Structures are given as structure tokens and as C-alpha cells.
Amino acid sequence: MPYIFSINDDVHHQAQRPQGRADNGERTVYTIVACLPIEADGRIRYRIKSKTENFERVVTEDELSQWLQQ
């Protein structure tokens, strides 16, 4: 199963609220820092970082969408 995104790609992260409800707030641009090993259930994970945060996040591919520069 190939990775859709590559290191240094800019993406949007769709944050999840409790009980899996999507957060409809403003979306922040994140950069892919690392492509992580595929989980046992087949989910692809990435480590992402925003320029406005001092920490990295680990997210699954289905939480990301391509950032289209406007």
C-alpha cells in the first residue's frame, strides 16, 4: 500500500473531536515530517508539524488532505 503524501508535502489536517466528530474550525497547514510504518490493520500514519505549534502530531492518512496553495 503506497503512501499518498511524501516528506515535506504541505497538507491540511482534519482534527477529530470526541466520539469521532470532525472539527469544523479553521484548518491549519501542516508539513509531513515522516512517513511512519503501516499499522497492523493497514492504516498509513504520518508525523506532521505546523509552523504555529511547538510539537508534532501523529495522524492517519484519512485525516489529511492535500493543501492547494491559493
pLDDT tens string 3-19:
999 999 999 987 766 66
Model pTM? 0.79
Query: Measuring CA to CA, how many Å separate 34 from each of 22, 24, 44, 57?
Result: 24, 26, 11, 10
Q: What is the pLDDT of residues 26-67, one digit of tens each?
A: 668 999 999 999 888 999 999 999 988 899 999 999 999 988
